[in-house]
Every structure is written in C-alpha cells, then in structure tokens.
Chains A and B, each alone.
Chain A
C-alpha cells in the first residue's frame, strides 16, 4: 500500500508548508513511540492519571430483556469523561519528546479541547485551542474548563463557525507556528501520519476490551459496536479485532433528525470520497466538491468527513456502517441511564441505540460489545431541550 494510505483512502493533501512538520512528526512516531521508556511512561500515565484499564461492564438488566449479552467498554470512566484523553496524553508526551512547548488543538463541543488542555497542564506545555464561535456559545462550560486548565481558547468566526472551521484555523495556525507547536489533532482524520498515530493511541481501548472479554467469557464478542464521527473511538476499539474475522465490526453514524432535507452526519452512508483536511475519504459534499454543513444532536459526531481507515473498512467490507437518528439516541440515553445507572454521552448513545434496536438483528445468546466512549453529564441540557421540543 502507498505510504499513508488505507487502500485508496488517506494520503497527505496539505499545503507544502505543512510537509516538514508532518515529516518531523512521522519520524518521531516511528523513532520515539516504540522506545521502551516512552511505552513505560504511557503505561504509567494511563494507570495513574487516566485511570486505565477502564472496565468492561456486563449490562445485566438490559441483557435479560434483550436476550443477548450486552457489554460496555467504559471509556466514560476515563479521566475527563471520554476516550479523548488516550489520544491527548500520548500526543502530548510525544510532543514533549520532540521538544515542542505548545499543544495546538481544534475542538467541536469542547471534549477534545478539554482533554488536550488537561494533557498540556499535566506535562507542562502551553495550550492553544481553536473552537467554532457557534460552539463557544453552545458549550460555555467546556470553554471555562479549558481556560481553568490554562489553555487559550480562540473563537473561530469563519465559515460555518463549527468544528470543520476550527480545524481549518488550527491548520493555518500550525503553518505559522510549526517550530515550537505540535498539532494535537483530535480524531483519526487529517493527513498522514495522524490517522495512524491516533489509531495507535486509541487502540488501547480494543486491546484492553479484547483481553477483558476473553478472560471473562472465554470467547470473543460476536459484534463490536461504536459510534463514528471522525471515528477515533471506533477505530480504537475495532483495530485489535480486525484480524478476528468472525467478529463483526459495526460503526454507527449520526443521522440527525432523519427528516428529508435536514443536515446530518452520516458521511459513510450518504457521502462519497473526496479530499478535506488533508485526507482522501468519504465526505458530505455538493456535486461540485464544496463541503456541506453537518448536524447531529451529539456534538462530537457533527463532522462532514470521516477517518480514511473507516472509508477503507467500509469499502473492503470488513466493517459495516449503520445510521441512528437523534430520537433513537435520546431514547437510548434515557434507557441506559434508567436501566443500568450509566448516563452515556449522546455520541455513545448512538452505538447503544443500534445494538438494542430490532434492526441490529442480534441472535439470542450472542455477545455484543459496545464502546461507551464518553459520559453524558455534558449532554443534559441538550436532552432536556429535546424533551421539551417533543412535548410542545
């Protein structure tokens, strides 16, 4: 396969000025990350700071009703409340080894921004976060968290004023500040080597879960289910199962309201390949190649692109991708909270919603592993508002 490609997807579609820092990063990934001392540092940070390994939880109440065994990989219990921290502590440590003094990141709803600011504070790095102006308004608590953690948060007023524009602005900033700044990209998207780097750092989810399930049940799951926005939690849990060909991998995209004409984030289901943010992958775009605005009730899934490896897994048939709509995710949000005592992030609720739906067609007695990528406290306002809208 061509360097930086997954089949025909991936690559490095960036301004030439970004080629040297990307080459520098690739070199560091290959040289520094395999070192024993780096691996030991990461293991220690995972254990003491992030709280790994996160448990795999057997949903006894729901499983009895559903007739199959439902397991959750509890990334919601990781520090800062989501899987995002796995990526940021890894990249922050790498950045420090590279001699960088500042971490740069984009953020949509603020989860990756908070995780980056957290890692930066822990490792003594400066932190600069770009966030769409619309998101700054909608997610003011996360802005406050980032600032408390010592980050500078810059509101991006261009384009659709959301995540996609925050990435544009972060790339622009990186062009000008590449000497002392590492761009801590938040998902398995972007130019090579980011999709590989982020996968490597998130694969801890799947490695742990695979081992935990084997130990507990003596066998591998029949299905592994995860939500897909950019797709970092999904690639993290999928990757260690890719060679277990009997394990079905199912990615769940956000279908928005499901009404014709409304925006959504079902990139793999409804888009086609194109180039955005440095990578060739499925996109939501016009026939002329302009990006379409995306939407999901789950802010973390709201992105018109998707990681190139997911495009490849879809194309090759190794993984399947399904769509869940806002109302189904909200129902799963309520259900998991009430039945299992776990409030899931609305993103993760998409994965839960599919697993418990009739559409999944899961055989009785089978075993399903869902990546519960984050906790849902952040989403209570969205949930309450959606409830009110339904009542009215």
Chain B
C-alpha cells in the first residue's frame, strides 16, 4: 500500500524478511546526554525497525524501577522535549528506523499539543505512545496527530475487554502495543494462557500489526506465541544491558 504508515511498513518489512520487528525503547538522555544520540544511531545501524524514545517524566506510574531511575536521571541532566526534538531533527536523516516518542501526557500537554505535533512531526517522529492517554482522552487530539503524520499507538492489556479492543481498532492505528504483563515495565513476562488468548483476540480485532512489550528479556520467552506477534518491544532489559557498559548493537543482534 502506498499510503501505508511508515511504522506499519517497517514492521511489514521485517516480517517479509522472516523475522519479528525489533522495537528498542531507550529513555532520552540515557546513558548520558552526550552519548544518547550515538546509542540511538547505533540501535538503528544494528537493525532496529522502530526506535521508541522515552520522554522523561517525574511521575511515571506505568514504569518499574529501571525505567523510572533512567527517567529521573535524564531530568537531572535537563533533558526535555525541546532537546529531544532538536536532537531528532539533527539525527533522523541518518537513520532508517521509524521513530516513536513515548512519554506521559503532562510534558506533551505543557509543551503544547499543536506545537508538539508540528515540531515533532517535522523533526522526524512518526508516532506517539502516551501510556496515560487512553481512548476517551485522546479523541480530542487524534485529528491533530494524524494531520502531522504522527501515529497514536494504543497500549492495550491482558485485561482489556474485546469490545474495547474494537474501539481502539476503530482508530486504525499503525500498530497496536499489547502489554504482556499485569504490571509495570520490567515485570517478567511468563508464558501463560491469558497472554496467548489475548493475542488471538487482538489478532481478530486489529488489522494492523501487533507489538508485544513490557517484561521481555530473552528471545525464548516468545517461543510459544511466535506466530501471534509481529514486533517486540524491550526497554528495561536494554537499559540494564547499557548500564553494564555493553553495546546497544550487541543487544539487538541477540534478538535478530
């Protein structure tokens, strides 16, 4: 499809190569303000299909300790949306991966959503993931985001009822993000029936690709649900890996 969203296209490309799309999440300003964009470029070079850049917030209620710590560290260094968008504008032309900004609503709201849509779109962001902006609350902004080719990526959970999945599907998202655990980021995903059933359900409801995230640290976690997932997101595991001084490229290669 010519008018296919770039994020959807990235995932389809990976699937066409016979693999899952890889979506690393890295908090802006991590491991340091100086090195952050090198890490992003390295992730891109190592084959990330989409990169989620975390916009720091002082009170990240959906996140576990690893992401929260990274987020607070970024804030101490003065990382904010302006810095992220500027850096993105400088670096996006070097990269192949789709770019998604992931962050809580208040920093976006204070930046000004009109401004955000314009500037982030122009700098090379392709989508937004806002964990505390659910369906009912995003509706006033969805046209604005769409007008600037910023895809709103819905997060759904193991406890999201089928009719609500359908409501989200009605937004025609570029992809849907299934949170694999009933918990916060970094909670380890088990292989359970609930997850498998929800994936089957999501497949029926959504026309778009399905990404799985929260609590993925090793490839064998995907063993039994391989056919039901199009893309995988990893955050806490990557952060811990980088924190040990290891390279982003190595981490990604272990998943390819």
A→B interface (CB under 8 Å): 3, 11-17, 19-20, 158-159, 164-165, 168, 171-172, 175-176, 178, 274-278, 283, 285, 287-291
Shortest Cβ distance from A325 into chain B, in angstroms? Answer: 26
With a cutoff of 8 Å between Cβ atoms, the chain A residues found around residue B161 in the complex are 20
Given pairs A12-B136, A275-B105, 5 additional interface contacts (CB within 8 A): A16-B157, A168-B60, A275-B132, A288-B110, A290-B107
With a cutoff of 8 Å between Cβ atoms, the chain A residues found around residue B179 in the complex are 16-17
Q: How far is the CA of A19 from the CA of B65 in the complex (A)?
A: 22
B133 in the interface (beta carbon within 8 A): yes
Shortest Cβ distance from A60 into chain B, in angstroms? Answer: 47
B105 touches A13 (CB 8 A): yes
B160 touches A19 (CB 8 A): yes
Shortest Cβ distance from B192 into chain A, in angstroms? Answer: 14
B132 touches A19 (CB 8 A): no
Map CB proximity to A onto B47-72 as digits: 1 under 8 Å, 0 otherwise: 00000000011111110110010001
B137 in the interface (beta carbon within 8 A): yes
Q: Give the number of A-B contacts (CB < 8 Å).
A: 105
Shortest Cβ distance from B180 into chain A, in angstroms? Answer: 11
The chain B residue sitting closest to A13, CB to CB, is: B132
Map CB proximity to A onto B66-107 as digits: 1 under 8 Å, 0 otherwise: 001000100100001100000000000000000000001111
Q: Which of B3-11, B37-45, B181-189, B225-233 is the interface stretch?
A: B181-189
A285 touches B110 (CB 8 A): yes
A275 touches B106 (CB 8 A): yes
Residue of B106, B136, B184 contacting most chain A CB atoms (<10 Å):
B106
B→A interface (CB under 8 Å): 56-62, 64-65, 68, 72, 75, 80-81, 104-111, 131-134, 136-137, 154-161, 164, 179, 182-184, 187
Which 4 A/B pairs are nearest by Cβ-Cβ distance?
Answer: A289-B110, A289-B107, A289-B106, A17-B157
B81 touches A288 (CB 8 A): yes
A16 touches B156 (CB 8 A): yes
The chain B residue sitting closest to A287, CB to CB, is: B110
With a cutoff of 8 Å between Cβ atoms, the chain B residues found around residue A287 in the complex are 110
Q: How far is the CA of A14 from the CA of B110 in the complex (A)?
A: 17
Q: How far is the CA of A17 from the CA of B134 in the complex (A)?
A: 10
B59 touches A164 (CB 8 A): yes
Q: How far is the CA of A149 from the CA of B154 in the complex (A)?
A: 42
> What are 10 inter-chain pairs, A to B, with CB distance below 8 A?
A12-B134, A13-B134, A14-B134, A19-B160, A159-B68, A172-B64, A285-B106, A288-B111, A290-B57, A290-B107
Q: How far is the CA of A19 from the CA of B134 in the complex (A)?
A: 9
Shortest Cβ distance from A304 into chain B, in angstroms? Answer: 9
With a cutoff of 8 Å between Cβ atoms, the chain A residues found around residue B65 in the complex are 158
The chain A residue sitting closest to B164, CB to CB, is: A19
With a cutoff of 8 Å between Cβ atoms, the chain B residues found around residue A164 in the complex are 59
B109 touches A172 (CB 8 A): no
A16 touches B59 (CB 8 A): no
A12 touches B137 (CB 8 A): yes
The chain A residue sitting closest to B179, CB to CB, is: A17
Shortest Cβ distance from A160 into chain B, in angstroms? Answer: 9
The chain A residue sitting closest to B57, CB to CB, is: A290
With a cutoff of 8 Å between Cβ atoms, the chain A residues found around residue B75 in the complex are 290
Shortest Cβ distance from B215 into chain A, in angstroms? Answer: 12
A289 touches B59 (CB 8 A): no
With a cutoff of 8 Å between Cβ atoms, the chain B residues found around residue A178 in the complex are 159, 182
The chain B residue sitting closest to A171, CB to CB, is: B61
Shortest Cβ distance from A155 into chain B, in angstroms? Answer: 14
B184 touches A176 (CB 8 A): yes
Q: How far is the CA of A80 from the CA of B173 in the complex (A)?
A: 51
Q: How far is the CA of A288 from the CA of B106 in the complex (A)?
A: 8
With a cutoff of 8 Å between Cβ atoms, the chain B residues found around residue A175 in the complex are 62, 182-184
Q: How far is the CA of A270 from the CA of B155 in the complex (A)?
A: 34
With a cutoff of 8 Å between Cβ atoms, the chain B residues found around residue A283 in the complex are 106
Shortest Cβ distance from A350 into chain B, in angstroms? Answer: 25
B59 touches A276 (CB 8 A): yes
B68 touches A289 (CB 8 A): no
With a cutoff of 8 Å between Cβ atoms, the chain B residues found around residue A176 in the complex are 182-184, 187
With a cutoff of 8 Å between Cβ atoms, the chain B residues found around residue A168 in the complex are 59-61
B159 partner, pick from A17, A158, A172, A274, beta carbons under 8 A: A17
With a cutoff of 8 Å between Cβ atoms, the chain B residues found around residue A288 in the complex are 80-81, 107, 110-111
Q: How far is the CA of A3 from the CA of B134 in the complex (A)?
A: 14
With a cutoff of 8 Å between Cβ atoms, the chain B residues found around residue A291 in the complex are 58-59
With a cutoff of 8 Å between Cβ atoms, the chain A residues found around residue B159 in the complex are 17, 20, 178
Q: A290 and B131 in contact (CB under 8 A), knowing A13-B105, A15-B155, A16-B155?
A: no
A15 touches B62 (CB 8 A): yes
Shortest Cβ distance from B105 into chain A, in angstroms? Answer: 5
Residue of A15, A277, A283 contacting most chain B CB atoms (<10 Å):
A15
Q: How far is the CA of A290 from the CA of B183 in the complex (A)?
A: 24
Shortest Cβ distance from A329 into chain B, in angstroms? Answer: 27
With a cutoff of 8 Å between Cβ atoms, the chain B residues found around residue A14 in the complex are 61, 132, 134
